[in-house]
Structures are given as structure tokens and as C-alpha cells.
Structure 1
């Protein structure tokens, strides 16, 4: 019996991870695809005239089983993978790509959709239903419905190959990350490292068969603290050079040919569909609308940020020279000396702050914020199956005490879990036939594990990461739409970061920190003086951080807003593309493109600018909260109604203006980042 094909007899019909085995996935996917195909045939064979219900809504509901199973599978491939699952991904991805393309390239089905679309003014559709119709019609056209048979076949080949390459790209990075270890046997080489990092490095050493030594890896919770605190410059340089050449070492994990091929396939696909470039194709369905607008936006930000960034680098360089006689500051020095300068300037660093941010307290903190703003409550439910013993499952209730969602939290690094932090859903939200399906939402992070002597204590950066991912989770949990494809985080890419980034603002406010930030040993609340310093230091390196983000955004646009066939040398191309954002001497051989998962494996191609774009929105939105009170119920209610619950039901600028009463202004972000004076 295959549990993936039966109704889930679990609390809230959550995924029965305790019953699912790897060998269940492929047969279940095949059966689900067959069912999905028969649902499509039923739409096509319906003798009645095509209308919104029997065509558009019927199509929206089709493939539900395939969607349910593949969602579980791909979430596991990110958070709990192994060789078997990776092999399955190589088998399953092309099947799903082909299934999706078969639907989108089905001429008979498209003709029915076209009839409904062309008579859309005769239907009395809700704004959400009108959006679904527009999105459905566009998705067919944008996927080749107007192409001839030969062109359609070409499109299928491109999509199949792209899916294979994206998987290969990610596997290369994971293999390289898993195989690298910097073994340290001399404790003197750990000078400057906080105790918790030493303990974690010793634990990693034990896991990797290096008992008695310390091991630093390329995982962020290992790499970032080492670069920030390790006094040993040679070791910092060694680690930096390995990290900054991921996917670019001329070995079996080299990604250069892969990124070129992905970019070329995207370009060919866009041309085939009548678009000038991949960026033109992508941005047609974004708030930003065109590559020109994106480039103008990024150039404007760069012009404000660059003078400030150069001053910041000069200040850190002068500090390194003054304290240690180091005048030729390199990239592998910057985190170390900027952290020391930050500590001196603000008498604050992660080591002072971390005792106040025990992971359990921070989780409690985000739950309290969700409760004060939106009335939500969270309760751990051990009856809900989880895919790894470290994952915690919660039942979430709304202000009336009714079931709202299931929330999974997966916080620690382990083998087979990709680096970074993300939010995902195991099940979306929808309303159908008088019933509502509530969502199952998950956040996955890689925080430092507790050790025998210390609980998991978060850096302030990790605190904001948790708030960020929880903001995405709220977008998923508070979803209140009719159609799953428009609910929750199914919004334009340059809008999707608003809920996550706006929530980060609460982590800087005394009123919020007082609710959860207390010393893990003494219970003492975080002192007001420290909160003041957190706020003061939040602008530290604001120019530098902005230039760094713009650098990634320009690199993304470089790959996707021109003809990439001219790119022969990836290194030369990248150096040229981001030269206006260089703040340091160029490190020969260091390259971002080959490890740029966001654009070559994730969904951010031609969309990396959206992080900054969403910052404009979030700074403007939080300005409104500050004006009214950060826990003001009316403002929270407006934000919930028009942003969090509305999903992609209407154009995001419309939704934002309903919440805010006006279009967003860039000024609050420039002030918050210290790029213009507060009083301007």
C-alpha cells in the first residue's frame, strides 16, 4: 500500500512521514500524473460550451494529487536528502516537467481557454477569479500555446534540459560543500573565535572522523563566524579562497559550462516566445515590468550607496592600519576588522548579544508578535509526523480559536540539508465545494546546534533571519483565497519579500525585544542600552551592504537582460558586469556566478533585484506602523487583509495602496540605511 496515494489519516491530514519510504515516490508520482492527465481529458471532452467553471476552475483543480506528492518530495530533497532521493529527483523532475508542458502545450485545451478569455466581459467575475483567468490564459501564451508544432517541440526540449541542469548545479555545490573540511590541529589558530564556535568545530571534527581536532566547513554557521572572528589571517584567506571559488575549481563539480548553458537556454526560450531576452519575459509579470526599470532602480540605489560604502571601507581600512598596521585590506579581512570596529564603536558584538537570544526564546518571541498583531496562537503537537527528529510541528489557531494552519520548524544544519534559510509549504490553502483546505507551512534554517554546555544562542543576524522566514510563513498561514495557485506566497516575485522583510523591523524595537530577549542564564531582560546600540549599529555598513546586494542584482541582470551567447569566459564576464560595485582589490579566481543558487537553481533569475525592491516596500510599510504604533491592531488588520491574506488575488501595487493609502516612497529606506540624513 502506497501511503502517498491514500487519504492522509493524520492530524489535519499532514504528510505521514513515518509511513513514507523513498520507493513510494516514483510510482505515486506516475499514478498521480496519469490521474492529472485524465482530469485534463475530462475538461477537453466536456460537451458543454467552455465557461469559467468547467474550464478555468476545472483546470485549477486538476493535478492536485501530483502537486501534493511532488511538494512533499522536493521539500525533502532540500531539507533531508541523500543519494537515493537525489537519484529520484533526476527521474522525477523530467516527468513533472513533461507533464506540465503537455498541459501548457495542449492546443485543444488552449482553444477552450481562449474562448473563455475572449468572452471574459460576459462573466460577472470576482477580482480574484478575473486574476485567475488572466493568469491562466497568459501562462499558456507564455509557455508557447501560440507556437507551431515544431516550435513547441523545441520548447519542450529546452525545458527538460533546463530542469536537468538546475539539479546538476545544486548537486555540484552540495558535493563540494560536503567534501571540504579545513582541519585545524593547533588551538592557537582558533584565536579570536568565540567558545561556541570552537565547540561546534570540535563537534564537526568528531562527526568527520577528526577527533581531537577542529573542523571548519563551507556551511554558513561555520564559515561566517570564522571569517568574522578568526585572528589568523592565513586561515581566513584559505577559507575565503575555497568559499569564493565554489563551482569554479576546474574539477567534476565545476559549474561554468552549466551556468552558460542555462543562460543560453533561457535566452532561446524567450526568443521563441517573442521576447527580446529572458529578463523581458520574466519582468512582464513583475511590479518592476521591464529590465530598463530594474536597471534604473539599481543604478539609483548604487548612486546613493556607493559614496557611503567607500567611506565605510576607508574607515575599516584606517582602523585595521591603526590597530594592527594592516594597510592593504583584502576581502577576507573585511568581516574581521569591521566586526572589531563595530564592537569598538558601539561596544556591541554577537558575543555580548547572543546570551539574550536563546533559540527557544526567539521562537517564543515571533509567536508573541504574531499573537499581538494577528491574534495567532501556536502549540506544539507531537502527534503530527515529522521528517526528522529535530523538526517541531505546531498547530496554529486564529484569534477565534479556530484551526488556521500547521507550522513546521527545522532549525539545525545536518548532512543532506542545503545551506541557508527558507520557507516552504507542504500544503497550500484553497476553498472548494464549500470546504476550506488550510495550509501546512515550514521554515528551514541552519542555526548553530546546542552543545553539551550551551543552548543554541543566535547571533542578531540569525534573529532577523528567523523573523524574516517567519514573515514568509505568516504570508502562507494567513492565506485566505479561493484558488491555491493565487494563495499565500504565490505573488509577484518582487512583492514576495515584503511580508518577510517587514517583520524583521520588529526585532529592532524595544517594545518587541522586551517580550522575549532575556539572558539565558540569569533571566535578565536585555538592557535598554543594548537595544539602543542594536538600533544604532543596524546602519553600520549600510552603504557596503547595499552595494553588495546591487552587485548580485546587476550580475543577475547581466546574465539575463542581454544575449548570453557572447559569454565565453564566465570569469571575465562577471568581472566586467560588476566592476562598478567593486570596493576592494579584485581577488583573482574568485567568482559568484558558479555558486549563485538563487538565479541558477532557485526561482530568482531576473529577480534578484526584488530583495531591494521589497526593502523599499517594507521600509515604507513599517514607517506606517511606527506612525500608528508597532502593535496597532487597525494597521495590523489592514496589513493582514490587503497583503498577507490576499496572496496574489490582485495586482500587488493595488493591494499595497489599499493597505498604505498611497504608493511606496524610496525615502524611508534611504533613511533607514543611512544613505540620506534622517531629517531629509
Structure 2
């Protein structure tokens, strides 16, 4: 998006309902100058709406208070849906600067709503009467959630504490933006430039070609450039024979935003942790983790820590066995060398070939991105009867983006779905799902999946690794949660569920990705069209538990680090790196493995997963147990799929998560399927 100011006479597309098919954002009409006026007008209009609710002389009712509040702020939802998605997927200096400017204004506006005494009095009155109001369960749930949001926002505090809470919220809003921007800057800044062709030894041809194209784009034609994006860094670590270069790129990755320069995040995170603790204390909690978890399935830090520590015993034991196997290979090849963290991917690939006669390069030709995407779509059709049809006449924000019309089995429109799969400088790393528009009533959603997968190179299309295949299915699972939702109110629709439940719909989709029947549906050689042979499927199945000790341990280490940060009851004189080392030493993390995210680039705990990164493992218990239902009756059993759709995917937060899960499964989940699925037992 290029910088262009909108004139005062120019129609701002955010100020009215988008006049487009499917209510899609008109990206071709949106200019940078539209955002700020739309935010300001959106704040003004919602402020007037809130004042009208709060000052009403009518007796408070569910409709004139709760529904009115849920429906307020339409302009803000419209502009925010576009703006905050683009600051993650296609940002630039202008958008970044505006996000910093708007953050405290939006924080103040939010506080003005939830610290409004007259408004809270009406909500409080209805909450006290909730059992006599003859509400549906969805309505009662919305009332409960809104009431709790007021309490958790400080509505019951005295004025002095509310004033301090406002200050904390404003400061956090800008610190969190700065943190994420620093990580993006650090990721974009690093380039491993190779001039000598012999240093490319071991690398597959597609990676070499991609690195040559990146070098040309960077003005270094004739050389090869590798970046910290997963699609570049991980295959380099996996295949590069040059150990010193592996160490260089690995060390650069784990030290992002930790160099004492303008992008350093240590001081920012220290402030964030301290402010979060103060906020929790103001609201009556002993630590920020208990504040967060009070509204999650886990309920408190003790439950989460017990869960993580129980898993740790299984995972670290397996990781140590894997490390010994890798060391044995390394010792055979390089006498006297000790396995280090930057060697793990390289020797695990050798071990994979040795144990399973499988080189991941054998698999990639069968995982053309478009085929994998269509495979995920085909699974959704077989399960739920839905179809996704590409649209060529819908405006998009980047040429890489594709748009799809999603229809139910009866032809009824379910939503608009964007996919944006390739890395670029304006996109933060990782993969995610977001809403441009929330579903409520007859309003259907606009959903996006964003990723940073291996991009096409020359005449070679985007060919995914097995991990990327599962990631695509994972994010599509989130999308289905957003697309199939069938709720009456924004506040409970789609993925507006507790953090430790939201990963169930995404992670259960991963199970289909490598089922033999499903692989036969989509995995075909991009050159010959040959369906993936049974011999390769057998190898994929046999190596299912391969390297799971490492993968679970690095994930658990990050989850424990997140919890320890937010379990703090005293954050004064806080040294981030010393704290991180102490926390990892305490659990006995081996030096060959680092946490999946170290503190200074742990974007999840800034972007909504604070005291919540455990959710992936918590939900893994749910998804492994839930998939057992499909295995018991058939992975495409229509009755089971209908139950999962109607009791989980359609329901949003209209019921307590465990109520929804038990309604689908008939009982609470068991841990054993998850341990078995990861090969930890």
C-alpha cells in the first residue's frame, strides 16, 4: 500500500457499509489517509452510542443495553478489521507510525466504555436479574461475558485505581506495538550472504535458486542470500554442510531484539511484565497469570503448571534419547565434536534417512501449495459439505492474496475467505487466522489465513515441507471455526472463545493432513501428476513420532517460560535474560534445545497469548481425544462431523467450552490419546 493522503472531499470507504460483493473491503479504494479519520469518527459515533445507552431513562433490558452495546462501534470494527490485519500482513512505515499514534487513543476509548459508571450500573442490574430474565443460553452467556469484561476492566474499582489502570493500559498499548515492530525489523534486517559456491554444499537446488533470487532482489546478484524466515532458515539448518554458517544463522535467530540497539526488547518486556503485574494486583489477583486464566478453561496458574510439568517429564526424556541418537551420528562423522543446538535439524534429517529411509526432499514434490490447499478444502467438503470457489473480481491488498466464496451444502453463502501464504518484508513471521468482519445473525464473516510458506522459485512452484502442510491445515481449521459459526451476537461468535479452547478446531484439522486416504486425495507429483505412492505414505506414517521429543520440549519450554514470566509476584529490578536462564535451568532444559521462542522475540505473549501459550498443548489433549471419535466411526463419518460442527464450530462462546466439548464427545477428554499421538508414551 503506497502512501496517499485522502482529500476532505473524497468519500472515505470506512464510513459506511462496504458497497462490494460479500461486504469485502475495497482494498483498491482504501488509502492511508482514510484510516485516522475513520478511527476518529468511529470513536465519536461509538461514544455517542454508549452515552445513549448509559443515559437512557428506560428500564435496562437485554435488548436496550446488552444487544445495543454488542452492536455499537460498527465503524471501528470496519476500519479496525482492515487496519490491524494489514499491520500484520502488509505493513509499511506509514501504517506502523499510525498504529503507534492510535494505540493510546483506542486504549482510552475502550476504558471510557468499560469504566462508564452509568453503563456498568445497567449491566450490573441485568446481571443480578439474569436468572429471571427468561434469556436463551446464548443471551445469558453474552450477558455473563460482558459483565465479566466490565469487572476485569476495573468497573468496580475506586476512581484512583481506575485512573492508574487507564495509565497502565495506555502505556501497554504502545509498548506492545514497539515490541512487535522490533521483532519484525530484526527479522528483516538479517541476511546471511554467501559468495562462495562451496558453502552451498548439501543444500537442495530449489533452496539455492530461491537464495539466488533473493540475492538479486537485494542487489547482490551472483551471490546467495538466506533470511530468518522459517522458509529460508529451517531448510538451511536442515541441509547445509557448513557448520559455521549453520551456527551463524541459528545464533542470529535466537538473539533477535537482544543486541542492545534500537530494536532491543529487553527493557520493553521488563516494563510490560511489571505493568501487567500491577494491573493484575489492582484487579485483585496475585499475578498476571491468574488474572488471565480466571476466564480460561484452566482457571488458574496451579492447574496449568501441574499440566505442563507432567508433560515435561515425558518430553525431556524423549528429547534426551533423540539427542543421544544424533550425537552418535555426529561422532561417527566428526570425531570429537559435540552436538549443539544448530546441529539438531541437520543431524535429525540424517537420522530420518537412516531410520526410515526418508528424505524430506522426496516428499516436497507431492506437496505443491495449491494442491495442499485444495486438499484442505476437499476435507472440509467431505466433512461438512461446504465448497470454496476462487473469486477473480474481489479486490485484494497484495497480488499474492487469493479470495474464495464459501458456500454451504445447500448453496447458501457462508463467508468470504482470503489466503495469503508467502513471506515478505511487510509481513510478520508465522501463520495465523483473523477476521475482517465478524459473523452475527444474518451477517456472514470475512476471514483470512496468513502464512509464510516456501515461495515459488523460477519454474518450481511453492513446494511445502510436511510441517508446512500441517500448518496450512491448522490455520484452515481456525478459518472453519470463523466461517461456520452460527451465533446471534458478535461477542460470542466464531473464535471469540477462551484461549485454551480456540486451538481445538485448528489442531484437529492437522490430523487429516497425513491420513493415507487424505494424502491420496491431494498429494500428487507437481511434474508428473502421479499420486503419492503407498511406499512414501508408509514412510510418513512410520516417522509420525520422529523428533517429537524435540518438538514437544521446545514448545513446552516456551509455554513454561511464558507462565513463569506471568507468575511473577515481584517484577522489580527484573533482568529478562537472567530470569529466562534461571527458568530453563530449573526445568533442566538441555543446551541442545532452546525454547521455541525466547523472551525478546516471543510475539505470542505480546499478541494475545500472555499466560496462554500453554493453550496449544492444552488443546492438543482436546483435539487428540476428539479425533478418536472420528477414528472410531470413520474419519469422514457424517454423523460425527455433524456433531462436531453443531456442538463446536457453530457455537462460538455461546456455552462454556467444556460443556460444548462434552456435548460432542460425551465425556471430558483423556490425556492418553495426546501422549500416544506424540509418541511420548
- In structure 1, the residue matched to 2:259 is 249
Equivalent residues in 2 for 1:475-486, closer than 5 Å: 475-486=481-492
Q: Find 2:515's aligned residue among 501, 509, 512.
A: 509
Q: Please list every run of 5 or more consecutive structure 1 residues that lacks an aligned counterpart in the other structure.
A: none
Query: Does 1:622 find its partner at 2:627?
Result: yes
- In structure 1, the residue matched to 2:166 is 156
Q: Find 2:616's aligned residue among 601, 611, 617.
A: 611
Q: Flag the 1:440–1:347 CA change in 2: closer, same or farther, 3 A.
A: same
Look up the SS of the partner of 1:124 in the other structure. Answer: coil
Look up the SS of the partner of 1:426 in the other structure. Answer: strand
- In structure 1, the residue matched to 2:198 is 188
Deviations 1:207-262 (A, max 9, x none): 11111100111111111111111110000111111111111111111100001000
Query: Does 1:498 find its partner at 2:504?
Result: yes
1:330 and 1:584 in contact (8 A); partners too? no
Equivalent residues in 2 for 1:273-292, closer than 5 Å: 273-292=283-302
Query: Does 1:638 find its partner at 2:643?
Result: yes
Distance, in Å, in 2 between the alignment partners of 1:137 and 1:7 is 29
Task: Using the TM superposition, give the Cα deviation of residue 277 of structure 1 relative to its aligned residue in structure 2, in angstroms.
Answer: 0.6
Task: Using the TM superposition, give the Cα deviation of residue 19 of structure 1 relative to its aligned residue in structure 2, in angstroms.
Answer: 0.3
Look up the SS of the partner of 2:25 in the other structure. Answer: coil
Deviations 1:259-303 (A, max 9, x none): 100000000000001111101100001111110000000011011
1:204 and 1:214 in contact (8 A); partners too? yes
Distance, in Å, in 1 between the alignment partners of 2:256 and 2:544 is 30
- In structure 1, the residue matched to 2:476 is 470
Equivalent residues in 2 for 1:373-392, closer than 5 Å: 373-392=383-402
Q: Find 1:20's aligned residue among 21, 26, 30.
A: 30
Q: Find 2:73's aligned residue among 40, 43, 63.
A: 63
Task: Using the TM superposition, give the Cα deviation of residue 96 of structure 1 relative to its aligned residue in structure 2, in angstroms.
Answer: 1.3
Taking structure 2 as the reference length, what is the TM-score of the superposition? Answer: 0.97
2:423 and 2:429 in contact (8 A); partners too? yes
Query: Does 1:309 find its partner at 2:319?
Result: yes
Query: Does 1:439 find its partner at 2:419?
Result: no
Distance, in Å, in 1 between the alignment partners of 2:66 and 2:370 is 45
Q: Find 1:667's aligned residue among 651, 663, 672.
A: 672
Between stretches 635-644 and 44-53, larger displacement belongs to 44-53
Task: Using the TM superposition, give the Cα deviation of residue 570 of structure 1 relative to its aligned residue in structure 2, in angstroms.
Answer: 1.4
Distance, in Å, in 1 between the alignment partners of 2:400 and 2:296 is 37
Q: Find 2:527's aligned residue among 521, 527, 538.
A: 521
Equivalent residues in 2 for 1:333-372, closer than 5 Å: 333-372=343-382
Query: Does 1:37 find its partner at 2:47?
Result: yes
1:181 and 1:216 in contact (8 A); partners too? yes
- In structure 1, the residue matched to 2:538 is 532
- In structure 1, the residue matched to 2:661 is 656
Query: Does 1:215 find its partner at 2:238?
Result: no
Query: Does 1:50 find its partner at 2:60?
Result: yes
Q: Please list every run of 5 or more consecutive structure 2 residues that lacks an aligned counterpart in the other structure.
A: 1-10
Q: Flag the 1:587–1:468 CA change in 2: closer, same or farther, 3 A.
A: closer
Query: Does 1:322 find its partner at 2:332?
Result: yes
Q: Find 2:304's aligned residue among 294, 303, 309.
A: 294
Deviations 1:456-475 (A, max 9, x none): 11111110010000000000
How many correspondences in the alignment?
A: 671
Look up the SS of the partner of 2:609 in the other structure. Answer: coil
Query: Does 1:129 find its partner at 2:134?
Result: no
Taking structure 1 as the reference length, what is the TM-score of the superposition? Answer: 0.97
Look up the SS of the partner of 1:514 in the other structure. Answer: helix
Q: Find 2:418's aligned residue among 408, 414, 429.
A: 408
1:245 and 1:591 in contact (8 A); partners too? no
